[in-house]
Amino acid sequence: MDIQWIRHQVEAQTYEWSSHADDERQAERILIEDVEDALLQGKILEMYPQDPRGPSCLVLGHSRQGHAIHIVCGQTPLRRLRLITVYIPSPPKWIDERTRRK
């Protein structure tokens, strides 16, 4: 999984939301369009090759208003992009949008 593949899936609208991702998106009041923009312009921040759900990654992108958004992405068995969770990085887990607190 790489950022070009993720962008292609978003552009082709061949991606799906986990119920957790959609719940988190709504709780954080993040628009679907902002998630799509973040994926289209974002960068992979972390790779999780050993994720028990299958390989996944954390994408850092920004909304149209410039707010940081984190999206954890995986791949379904049918090779579709799956959005696992979506959130705004904030303390105490994150020092800033790029730095995880240890």
User: Is the CB of residue 71 less than 8 Å from the CB of residue 46?
Assistant: no
**Half-sphere exposure of 97 toward its Cβ, with a 13 Å CA cutoff?**
17
In a domain, 45, yes or no: yes
DSSP conformation class of 66: -
Domain that holds residue 51: 3-95
In a domain, 71, yes or no: yes
Which band of pLDDT confidence, cut at 50, 70 and 90, is reported for residue 17? very high
pLDDT value at position 1? Answer: 84
Give the whole-angstrom CA distance, residue 97 versus residue 68: 6
pLDDT value at position 72? Answer: 98
Cβ contacts of 52 within 8 Å, gap of 6 or more: none
User: Is the CB of residue 68 less than 8 Å from the CB of residue 3?
Assistant: no
pLDDT value at position 102? Answer: 83
In a domain, 47, yes or no: yes
pLDDT tens column, 39-92: 999 999 999 999 888 899 999 999 999 999 999 999 998 899 999 999 999 999
3-state secondary structure of 97: coil
pLDDT value at position 63? Answer: 93
Q: How many domains does the chain have?
A: 1
User: Is the CB of residue 71 less than 8 Å from the CB of residue 48?
Assistant: no
DSSP-assigned beta bridge partners for residue 13: none
pLDDT value at position 56? Answer: 96
In a domain, 87, yes or no: yes
In a domain, 35, yes or no: yes
In a domain, 54, yes or no: yes
In a domain, 101, yes or no: no
In a domain, 102, yes or no: no
